């Protein structure tokens, strides 16, 4: 386990963190507008829009809280029984000679496109299911449990709308935030925007919304003043920008490159946007790029899916940050729930699901054929974990890549049509082979979670599993390994030195037997000497005791930079490791710990506590994530 002090450099500009919807760095808005609408290239203005929003300290703090709430949400997706309804309002701005009836119909047609795209019922989803999905084994398209409605009831006053009218205003609003329309996802449509569209990365539902150029709104012939132009004439610009509003980044991440990502686990890493209609199989980072996702920059006809990870992230964001919008649906979206399946059409759940031929890492799963089924979706997971999906046209599948001696759940449903799916079958449970024990009846295999090597000291294995039933019945994790290491390593008193902090194992209170490593840790990390010996100190000791004698690792897995804005100092950071739990420690040039703070997001921007920094002109930072550290000695002035 490694520890890293990241070199911090002070910059005048600070908002380089969030969605960068233009690859080029531009000097001002005029330059952006001149370059952003190049023929044949999609563009969006989120980067510039977020810079402007984050200049407001109140918005910046609220945005940080939103990110923390979303990152803390579970990746485990519940079955969709009743979609969450999100009311929408469309505001046409600056339209000459508007045809009101045509614009209302165009708005409703655009909302219908959204529902098809987000729910995976778009007609061209077959480009994925019957074609490009074969290039992405194990990755399935997402079907969001969300239903967008164009509101029809209880409209805000002052706009001349009656109950029964759709929530469409024409030349009655200005800008991209109208507080009177709080509780809605607002779509602002105006000509000559300079981008195809822009949106905040994570909307509030407080009158904000998505802004779309009039030449990229809707599909078909359009209306006077609002005519969608090819190749952005299928309504997918709003599909893309609304993804940003629901916290989806571009498929290549914030800044691009193979070390950046979009914080979605199932989307392959890509270095930069794709334009036009690229061939399936294109690759940049040793994996096939998912350029057919709605969050890339391809033409409307060549983007046709979200991944399941993307739809789950959006559902989590709605659940944690847009309850003011979903809670308004009952009042303003009367009668807009999704229609039921056509009459006399049924799709029965598969029967007689069975698991057989179980090995250490594979299992066969079969079921009875369902009349009218086009294909089947199989879901499998470690008990209580995240579902992995398989799609097949057969009535059996061999599941591979399972973990040795582990409990699994598996189920299947039939897809009889794009909008007609069966309930899932009864969930089956099974356990893979290969279990070993430490001389007792434990099911969990005692293997080192870092190296995968089987542990050999049967007495210590038994002792750990007797004292911690999780290590016996569920899984041998890092905590189990900590206890095992202490058992096998024995214990002698720590060396006598001038450190007031007692060097004892924070997990079990035992002392350490390597005096040189204790001294080494307390020398390089004064907190372990002067304040307390905590888990960070313990992990540094283990790294030393394992033989490296120094902290390992590079800066490839973590970046951070310091930014000054007036009298405020900010740290922007990005941890490129999934599900990382991040702790930041600010350290003075003489090794004194100024203060510590736990960070709930893997990438964000936070304001340093200037009161605590008083008197310190040079300092460095330590980012700890998942027990890993990257170390870089630095003196970074904030003057």
Catalytic (active-site) positions: 241
Q: What's the CA gap between 428 and 508, in Å, rounded?
A: 39
Q: What's the CA gap between 113 and 219, in Å, rounded?
A: 9
* 268 φ/ψ angles, rounded to the nearest 5 degrees: -60, 150
Q: What's the CA gap between 212 and 230, in Å, rounded?
A: 15
Q: What's the CA gap between 474 and 463, in Å, rounded?
A: 16
Q: What's the CA gap between 506 and 485, in Å, rounded?
A: 13
**Using an 8 Å Cβ cutoff, are 169 and 92 in contact?**
yes
Show the DSSP H helices in 468-560 as ranges.
Answer: 469-473, 478-489, 515-524, 526-530, 535-545
Residue 165: strand pairing partners: none
DSSP three-state, residue 485: helix
Q: Give me the residue label for tokens 């802004």.
A: 211
At 382, list the tokens.
């470690």
**Beta-carbon neighbour count of residue 549 at 10 Å?**
12
At 123, list the tokens.
């007609």
Q: What's the CA gap between 265 and 256, in Å, rounded?
A: 16
**Using an 8 Å Cβ cutoff, are 503 and 494 in contact?**
yes
**Using an 8 Å Cβ cutoff, are 93 and 174 in contact?**
yes
**Using an 8 Å Cβ cutoff, are 110 and 189 in contact?**
no
240: enclosing H helix or E strand: helix 236-245
Q: What's the CA gap between 369 and 348, in Å, rounded?
A: 10
DSSP three-state, residue 330: helix
**Using an 8 Å Cβ cutoff, are 75 and 265 in contact?**
yes
Q: What's the CA gap between 452 and 16, in Å, rounded?
A: 39
Q: Give me the residue label for tokens 């070993």.
A: 436
Residue whose C-alpha is closest to residue 178's, from 106, 114, 90, 250: 90
HSE of 630 in the Cβ direction (CA atoms, 13 Å)?
Answer: 18
At 260, list the tokens.
């950046």
DSSP string, 351-398: ---EEES--SS-EEEE----TT-SEEEEEEEETTS--EEEEESSSEEE
Contacts of residue 185, Cβ cutoff 8 Å, sequence gap at least 6: 86, 87, 88, 89, 148, 203, 205, 209, 210, 242, 245, 325
Show the DSSP H helices in 36-151 as ranges.
Answer: 46-54, 57-71, 100-119, 126-129
CA–CA distance from 22 to each of 35, 193, 254, 260, 427 (Å)? 9, 15, 10, 15, 46
Q: What's the CA gap between 307 and 389, in Å, rounded?
A: 11
**Using an 8 Å Cβ cutoff, are 424 and 455 in contact?**
no
**Using an 8 Å Cβ cutoff, are 559 and 6 in contact?**
yes
SS3 content of the chain, % helix, strand, coil (to 5): 25, 20, 55
């Amino acid at each position: 386990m490694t520890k890293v002090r990241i070199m911090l450099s002070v910059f005048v500009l600070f908002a380089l963190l969030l969605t960068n919807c233009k690859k080029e760095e531009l000097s001002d808005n005029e330059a952006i507008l001149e370059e952003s609408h190049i023929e044949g290239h999609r563009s969006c203005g989120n980067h510039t829009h977020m810079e402007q929003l984050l200049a407001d300290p109140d918005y910046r703090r609220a945005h940080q809280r939103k990110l923390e709430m979303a990152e803390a949400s579970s990746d485990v997706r519940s079955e969709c029984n009743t979609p969450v309804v999100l009311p929408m309002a469309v505001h046409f701005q600056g339209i000459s000679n508007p045809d009101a009836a045509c614009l209302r119909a165009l708005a409703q047609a655009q909302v219908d496109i959204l529902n098809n795209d987000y729910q995976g019922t778009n007609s061209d989803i077959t480009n994925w299911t019957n074609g490009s999905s074969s290039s992405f084994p194990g990755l399935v398209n997402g079907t969001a449990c969300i239903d967008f409605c164009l509101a029809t009831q209880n409209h805000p006053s002052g706009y001349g709308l009656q109950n029964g009218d759709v929530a469409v205003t024409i030349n009655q609003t200005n800008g991209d935030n109208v507080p009177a329309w709080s509780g809605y996802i607002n779509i602002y449509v105006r000509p000559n925007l300079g981008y195809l569209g822009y949106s905040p990365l994570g909307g509030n539902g407080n009158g904000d919304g998505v802004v779309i150029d009039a030449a990229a709104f809707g599909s078909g012939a359009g209306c006077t003043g609002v005519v969608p132009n090819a190749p952005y004439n299928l309504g997918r610009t709003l599909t893309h920008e609304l993804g940003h509003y629901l916290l989806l980044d571009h498929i290549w991440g914030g800044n691009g490159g193979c070390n950046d990502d979009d914080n979605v686990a199932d989307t392959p890493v890509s270095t930069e946007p794709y334009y036009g209609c690229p061939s399936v199989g294109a690759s940049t980072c040793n994996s096939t790029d998912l350029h057919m996702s709605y969050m890339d920059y391809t033409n409307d006809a060549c983007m046709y899916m979200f991944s399941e990870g993307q739809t789950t992230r959006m559902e989590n964001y709605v659940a944690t940050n847009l309850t003011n919008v979903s809670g308004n649906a009952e009042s303003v979206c009367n009668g807009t729930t999704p229609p039921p399946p056509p009459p006399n059409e049924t799709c029965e759940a598969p029967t007689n699901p069975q698991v057989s031929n179980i090995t250490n890492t594979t299992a066969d799963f079969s079921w009875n054929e369902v009349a009218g089924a086009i294909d089947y979706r199989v879901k499998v997971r470690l008990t209580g974990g995240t579902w992995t999906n398989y799609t097949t046209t057969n009535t059996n599948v061999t599941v591979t890549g399972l973990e040795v001696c582990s409990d699994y759940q598996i189920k299947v449903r039939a897809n009889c049509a794009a909008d007609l799916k069966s309930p899932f079958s009864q969930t089956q449970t099974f356990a893979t082979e290969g279990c070993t024990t430490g001389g007792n009846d434990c099911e969990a295999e005692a293997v080192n979670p870092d190296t995968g090597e089987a542990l050999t000291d049967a007495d210590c294995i038994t002792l750990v599993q007797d004292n911690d039933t999780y290590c016996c019945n569920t899984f041998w994790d890092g905590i189990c390994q900590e206890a095992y290491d202490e058992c096998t390593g024995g214990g002698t008193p720590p060396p006598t030195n001038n450190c007031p902090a007692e060097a004892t194992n924070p997990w079990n209170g035992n002392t350490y037997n390597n005096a040189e490593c204790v001294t080494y840790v307390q020398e390089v990390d004064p907190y372990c000497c002067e304040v307390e010996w905590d888990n960070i100190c313990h992990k540094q000791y283990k790294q030393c005791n394992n033989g490296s004698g120094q902290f390992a690792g590079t800066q490839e897995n973590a970046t951070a930079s310091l930014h000054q804005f007036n009298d405020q100092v900010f740290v922007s950071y990005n941890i490129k490791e999934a599900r990382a739990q991040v702790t930041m420690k600010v350290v003075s040039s003489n090794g004194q710990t100024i203060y510590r703070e736990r960070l709930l997001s893997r990438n964000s921007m936070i304001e340093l506590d200037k009161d605590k920094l008083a008197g310190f002109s040079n300092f460095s930072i330590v980012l700890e994530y998942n027990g890993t550290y990257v170390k870089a000695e630095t003196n970074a002035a904030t003057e």
